[in-house]
Amino acid sequence: MSSINSISTLSLPADIRAAGTDAVKDYKTAVGFEQMLAGQLVKRELWDGTSEVFEHDALGDIVRLEGPAGELRFERDALGRILREAQVVSDEEHIVESAYEPGGGRVWRKTSLGHTEAIERNALRTRQRKMTRDPPERCTKRSAATWNQ
């Protein structure tokens, strides 16, 4: 379903809005948004003729995006937080996994390339300290010192 005219003008870039109604109309037409009845973006046609396709779960969160640059897939928990993200570019897949505390804040993240991030929070649940570890071939003096504190 094409719904170019249903796109809120307020959601467009400020310079397009400031250029007047013809610019807004041209922008909406050029970008060619397609939305489902619920207002979720399912396809975006780009200026070069390529497009990006979006898939959503039952809660409306994006679970997959495919476009000319590659593909992103998200696995989410019941609260919609991203537990696992797969990024595929040129047939090469990389993974980012995350874990969260019961209060919702992320406590660690690791990648298939070997990077790890651990997050400590204070009593107010705000980030207090972040520790990272890179794989040996990417390790710098600074990251090694940060992890070993």
CB 100 within 8 A of CB 119: no
% pLDDT > 90, the chain:
25
Q: Residues 58, 75: contact at Cβ < 8 Å?
A: no
CA distance 66 to 71: 4
Q: What is the pLDDT of residue 147?
A: 42
The chain-wide mean pLDDT, for the chain, equals: 78
Note the pLDDT tens digit of each residue in 16-31. Answer: 778 888 888 777 766 6
**Residue of 140 and 143 predicted with greater confidence:** 140
pLDDT band at 137 (very low <50, low <70, confident <90, very high): low
Q: Is 95 helix (H, G, I), strand (E, B) or coil?
A: strand
- For residue range 64-117, list pLDDT tens digits in order: 999 999 999 999 998 889 999 999 999 999 999 999 888 788 888 999 988 888
In total, the chain counts a number of residues equal to 149
Residue predicted with more confidence, 143 or 36? 36
Stated pTM of the model: 0.63
Separation between Cα atoms, residue 149 and residue 143, nearest integer Å: 10
Output 12 or 93, whichever has higher pLDDT: 93
Residue 35 binned pLDDT confidence (cut-offs 50, 70, 90): low
* CA–CA distance, 86 with 77 (Å, rounded to integer): 15
* Residue that wins the pLDDT comparison between 15 and 37: 15
